[in-house]
Structure 1
Amino acid sequence: MSNHAKLSPSASERWLVCSVAPVREEAFPDTTNDAAEWGTAAHAMAEHCLTNGIDAALASASYFWDKYDGPEMRECVQRYLDFVRSKLTPTSTLFVEQRLSILPEFEIFGTADAIIVDGHTLRVLDLKGGKGVLVEADDNSQLSLYGWGALDSLAWLASEDIQFVEVYIVQPRRENIVSKTFTAAELVTWMDDNREAARRAYAAVAGDVATPGAHCRWCRARNTCRERADYNMATAGFDFSDECTPHDPNQLTEEQLVAIFLRLPTLEKWMKDIEGHVATLAHDHKVHGLKWVAGRAMRKIADPVRVCTVLREVGIEPMAEPKLLGITEIERLVKEKGLKVSTLLGKAIEVVASKPVLVSEEDKRPEYVPAAHDFAEELAQ
């Protein structure tokens, strides 16, 4: 999806909660990176293939994707193509890269990767090229906005009154396909409930302040946001006075330790953001109170041939024993050959669970309940 609106649906997780985010982000450049450009290239190839009715393998070279073209991209695009085509019926109509006017009075618009109109159902499909963050469908405001936009823009083309809007996320590089189904009435209600938040974000209402939270993650203004700093400093200065006094007043209770533990991810992310931002400032100019110093000196081999010759002369073999590549590197090389690891190596590859992760009870993942002796062994690894 492209052509960013003033209130971009992809940023709605922020501006629906923090009305000042859009205007504050205007002060910072909207930068890109290889991951984002890879995704743009994959979208361009997918559009070309859907429009021309071809598979990814048949897409010829193009300026729009040549830089990132390769087996991995073509496999990613093909999985998306297969899924879109699996949702088509003889009576359905496919729209590719369909422009949507979502809330024009607030300049909210977007371009859906694919929309299928089929009887009383609209299907909105969104290709995600990322392989880092796993994208979910639940509580995904971007999908709700695109669902509403499709309903409002294309319902008139349907052969029947639209009753359902299905939204799908296809994230091939994470083997992730998730969906959510709305009734038309649910989308209308959702939009009515969030219209005021959109208005405040669009109008930049005087007196509004930032609302810190997990949605700060991708905000371009997050490093200099005063409210985020205040929130995290208050988190760091956790007040134990209201807690039950432990038997030993010099020791923390289990409840207090849990309270600190739950705050750690938020604090760690904020501190890492500040560290990176200040380092960038210090690269640009002299920052009062800070200075650069030489990093730790490290030795490295400048002449490998001479090192091997000399060591062998004194009876030392300098070359390490051959070592099997890791599964990630093997998978990359196999994909470059147009093959799949699961097909090629089969039972020679097994999935081994990593040790359990301790998280908040509010986490959506099911609780891990192993046998007692297995649990002790996993934590000890």
Structure 2
Amino acid sequence: MTAHSEKGPSSSSRWINCTPSAKLCADFPNVGSSFAQEGTDAHELCEYLLKKELGQDVKDPTEDLTYYNQEMQEHCEDYRDYVMELVAKAKQNTKDVVVMVEQQIQYERFVKGGFGTADCIIIADGVLNVVDFKYGMGVEVKAEGNTQMQIYALGALEIFDVLYDIDTVQMTIFQPRLSNISTATMSRDDLYKWAEEVLKPAAEEADAGTGEFHTGDWCRFCRAKHVCRERAKKNLELASYEFASPPLLSDEEITEILSKVDSLISWANDVKEYALQEAVDGKKWTGFKLVEGRSVRKYTNEDEVAKAANLAGYDPYDKKIKSITELTKEMGKKKFEEILGKLVVKPQGKPVLVREDDKRPALNTAKEDFKI
């Protein structure tokens, strides 16, 4: 199992922006999830595929991966191919290109006890490339201003800056399930400046448990998010609006609500989940009780059900055509397009209201469609 630093790269957005959270989170257990394990499995497969492509003798881990499937295989192969393209490009300028896979990095000079593991580092004269694989599909991750990527790059510089003439750092997020490849660049000098002026002071405050609590996107993976008073304060401020009827609110108020409502819903669900788990463990909440939820009937043994139904003269099976995903996996992408591509159509999705920085193009409203 990979060790994690309390002030590690993956949680850096939180402890840099909300420095007291570092000590606060240390008092809460790091509870895993099926999504986290799925991501871990995908990273192991990426490591294997990339090292194998680089000519290293490695063991195929697929038999031991809980969430391995054909979709994961294809996405990890896409990651491998992308990295190898970067390697080929680097070799055009530098003969002795170094490729480090799952490389341990340290940034002790700026953060006490700071260490982490970078998915892939490509070192060559001029440009240092850092690539991070994200298998999640809940949130699109951007490379620009990404503190995790900047720390990975910083750790790589700490090792290789004296050996190579590096002046530019390129950081890439490869997130295949959202078709997201996000890249940002910054100069070596600007990265070290950020480390001295932002990273180091924040780490010192985090170690001391000082600074102020601040809410933001970084709350999403905070271990204390369900009981954090600052998060509750910010969300209760929004909840104080009288939601009697939207037309009674001004456009400005509705815009403010739209910008924060997802955070409010997420916070409320976090509190409910925390209260439920505490109740399961025996805690009594005044005015609430633990009851059995609704459940759906299910068969104890499907094979026995099929036999019994057949004997009684009934067909127990509901035959239907396989889904596009299932047939694509069975045939392969190329063969699927060749045989069935002309028979597949993608209907227009229902309108969704999102932030302006969303990558999807804006829809014309019905009113605008009739404009001449």
TM-score by length of 1: 0.79
> Corresponding residue for 2:66?
67
Aligned residues of 2:310 and 2:316 also touching (Cα < 8 A): yes
* Helix, strand or coil at the partner of 1:22: helix
Of 125, 131, 135, the residue aligned with 1:129 is 135
> Corresponding residue for 1:279?
276
Matched to 1:354, the amino acid is: G
Change (3 A) 1:342 1:4: farther
Cα offset, 1:48, TM superposition: 3.3
Q: Write the mapping of 1:77-96 to structure 2, written as runs, cut at 5 A.
A: 77-89=76-88, 90=91, 91=95, 92-96=97-101
How far does the alpha carbon of each residue in 1:117-170 deviate from its partner, in whole angstroms, 9 at most, with x for none?
A: 122111111122223322221221111111222223211221xx2111111122
**Pair 1:236 & 2:243 matched:** no
> Corresponding residue for 1:162?
166
How far does the alpha carbon of each residue in 1:253-300 deviate from its partner, in whole angstroms, 9 at most, with x for none?
A: 333333333332121111111111111111111413211335457677
5+ long unaligned stretches in structure 2: none
Matched to 1:278, the amino acid is: A
* Helix, strand or coil at the partner of 2:87: coil
Q: Write the mapping of 1:88-127 to structure 2, written as runs, cut at 5 A.
A: 88-89=87-88, 90=91, 91=95, 92-104=97-109, 105-127=111-133
Partner Cα distance (1:193, 1:203) in 2: 17
Change (3 A) 1:235 1:152: same
Q: Write the mapping of 1:14-29 to structure 2, written as runs, cut at 5 A.
A: 14-29=14-29
Change (3 A) 1:154 1:350: farther
Matched to 1:179, the amino acid is: T
Matched to 2:30, the amino acid is: D
Change (3 A) 1:219 1:305: same
In angstroms, what is the RMSD of aligned CA positions?
3.5
5+ long unaligned stretches in structure 1: 241-249, 377-381
Cα offset, 1:351, TM superposition: 3.5
**Pair 1:191 & 2:195 matched:** yes
Aligned residues of 1:170 and 1:178 also touching (Cα < 8 A): yes
Figure out how many residues of one structure are paired with residues of the other and give that number. 355
> Corresponding residue for 1:368?
362
Cα offset, 1:184, TM superposition: 1.3
Change (3 A) 1:44 1:299: closer
Which range moved further: 301-310 or 218-227? 301-310
Partner Cα distance (1:276, 1:66) in 2: 28
Partner Cα distance (1:189, 1:253) in 2: 44
Partner Cα distance (2:17, 2:71) in 1: 36
**Pair 1:223 & 2:226 matched:** yes
Q: Write the mapping of 1:249-268 to structure 2, written as runs, cut at 5 A.
A: 251-268=248-265
Change (3 A) 1:39 1:151: same
Partner Cα distance (2:360, 2:67) in 1: 37
Matched to 1:281, the amino acid is: E
Cα offset, 1:55, TM superposition: 8.9
> Corresponding residue for 1:347?
342
Partner Cα distance (2:325, 2:140) in 1: 18
> Corresponding residue for 2:31?
31
Partner Cα distance (1:45, 1:121) in 2: 27
Cα offset, 1:306, TM superposition: 7.1
Identity score, percent: 32
Change (3 A) 1:286 1:373: same
**Pair 1:172 & 2:148 matched:** no
TM-score by length of 2: 0.81
Cα offset, 1:14, TM superposition: 0.5
Cα offset, 1:360, TM superposition: 4.0
Partner Cα distance (1:23, 1:346) in 2: 54
> Corresponding residue for 1:7?
7
Partner Cα distance (2:24, 2:49) in 1: 38
Matched to 1:357, the amino acid is: V
Cα offset, 1:319, TM superposition: 7.0
